[in-house]
Amino acid sequence: MSKTPDSGKAEDDGPSTVEQYLVKDPERFALNMARMIEQAGKAASAWAEPREKGDVRDHVAEPVVDMVKTFSKLSEYWLSDPQRALEAQTRLFSGYMTVWANAIQRTSNAAEATEDAVKPERGDKRFLDPEWGRNAFFDFLKQAYLVTSRWAADLVEHADGLDEHTRHKAGFYVKQVANAISPSNFILTNPELFRETVASNGENLVRGMKMLAEDIAAGKGDLKLRQADYSPFEIGKNIATTPGKVVGRSDVAEIIQYDPATDTVLKRPLLICPPWINKFYILDLNPQKSFIRWAIEQGHTVFVISWINPDERHGTKGWEAYIREGLQYGLDTVEKATGERDVNAIGYCVGGTLLAAALALMAREGDDRIKSATFFTTQVDFTYAGDLKVFVDEEQVAAVEKSMSEKGYLDGSKMATAFNMLRSGDLIWPYVVNNYMRGKDPLPFDLLYWNADSTRMGAANHSFYLRNCYLENNLSQGMMELAGHTVSLGDITIPIYNLASKEDHIAPALSVFLGSKYFGGKVDYVMAGSGHIAGVVNPPASNKYQYWTGGTPTGDFGEWMAKATDHPGSWWPHWQSWIEAKDNTRVPARKPGKHMKTLGDAPGTYVKVRV
């Protein structure tokens, strides 16, 4: 099989041959199968040992029970009406008949082309190998799978009797099951894997089982799926390398001040509040991708909150603690370091949600130090909060709270798995195939190194977030209680730059748009191209994607989009112009440590705590 240099797609090298699927050295193949079984035993031992010691407790039944309940409601809708059930079965049977007819035609007349019953979606890379089309067996498997998965998705879409939450969950679970059972995931039903296994006499499976055992051991009994070669990366060496100092440290946060890169800087310092669900250095991956470094080069005095990776000591720290000991402590530190009270602030994802809640509380308490707020892919209203809502209902939240009560935190792997499941077709199954079946090491990739650097969730913090935001939507409804106050976003009257990203699966652009109306001041809504990470981390030098600007973010989102102006490239310069329009007064550059003792070099110690 060869590949065209420009398209990346495999060329058709002629008709399929049986020989490429036949074992050439049975003795060596059998030996490797024995070695594979030995490695599989080590994987089983790595899984079982921590359970036997009581170090790991499985909670697999809880999500499975929820999936069964959801599918039961879906089945009840279709089976409660015999006519409806017959129509659904007829559609599936019709699809299978088309697949069967195509297979017969292909077998009897290989030279005659046949039209597939259903084609893979655009961008689906699972079926690029030419054998999926020219080999009757693999073509049949592919078409039968696509017909079945498409039919199941249609059952969810057309189940009019389901409430929206159940429909959302059903669609999500159908997608997970469909991704899992794809014939591309199995040796005997994937022509490329089949050929590789035969060609190497099964050595790929020996390597794969060895990697599986290593990854279960690394996860201390749970599978820690490696998505990249992490060995080349080290925080502070070639990741998160922008120079600066730790100028403050509390129980929940380190405050980092970065070295200036210009002779003069904007008078207002910039405080960045990243999410604690991930580590802050997504904004400082490397010099070329670093928003932090770029902001410094534009003349900002940049401070960043680096959140603690919590353990049992932090189990009772809720949102009020994160506001007092994180955000407001950061503002105190900025003032000590620079002498400035007026600050521009940025919040990213849940860090933005915390910033919005803090601003509402600070408005009630008369704290007006933040003069402008920028939100990166931040939700304040959770009505249309994307696929993460699948994991949030009373039963599931109660189960998470019960699990967290045992240690005072939620293991980082749990959140990492949830995020990976949102895009399991990209972030789970390709790596399962590559690592454990092809036996190939993944390539180095700084973004996936960051993605795998998971953080724990403190119990009180995470419970407050799930209940007040996803479950009860209290923040946008003016019902969130913090520090004895019932806070309202309407009390926030400072200018707001509200950035969404078009393909965001965590904070959908629609959700961010609708949240804009709850603030009490002027909101500039901007939508970047791409998704939750690439839409934000898009340096101008890359000349990638685009962004949209338009009028006031009110009314229908589709109408706003239709009238919005499309700008090529990064939104970063647009944001810089927005900031400077508020106050572009410049002062001499400020160096960390001039007015206060420093506690070490950036990126600090909290960010290096791994789980």
Catalytic residues: 349
Query: CA 292 to CA 273: how far, in whole Å?
Result: 12
CB within 8 A of 400, min separation 6: which ones?
410, 462, 463, 466
Distances (CA, A) of 234 to 442, 446, 534, 564: 17, 10, 22, 42
DSSP 21: G
Distances (CA, A) of 213 to 46, 217, 451, 594: 6, 6, 21, 51
Strands (E), 112-202: none
Q: Which of 105, 87, 100 is nearest to 143 (CA)?
A: 100
Cα radius of gyration (the chain): 27
Q: Which of 452, 447, 427 is nearest to 289 (CA)?
A: 447
Query: CA 473 to CA 462: how far, in whole Å?
Result: 15
Strand partners, 372: 344
Query: CA 308 to CA 310: how far, in whole Å?
Result: 6
On whether the CB atoms of residues 354 and 273 are closer than 8 A, the answer is yes
Residue 230: count other Cβ atoms within 10 Å of its Cβ: 16
Stated length of the chain: 611
Query: CA 271 to CA 329: how far, in whole Å?
Result: 11
Exposure string for 566-580, b = 16+ CB within 10 A, e = fewer: ebebbbbebbbebbe
Query: CA 142 to CA 135: how far, in whole Å?
Result: 11
DSSP 58: -
Sign of CA dihedral 338, 341, 344, 348: positive
- Which backbone phi and psi does 441 adopt, to 5 degrees? -70, 135
Q: Which of 222, 135, 125 is nearest to 182 (CA)?
A: 125
Segments in 385-434 forming alpha helices (H):
394-407, 412-422, 424-427, 429-432
For the chain, how far is it from start to end, CA to CA, in angstroms?
42
Query: CA 145 to CA 135: how far, in whole Å?
Result: 15
Q: For strands 370-376 and 480-482, give the pairing.
A: unpaired
284 in helix, strand or coil? helix
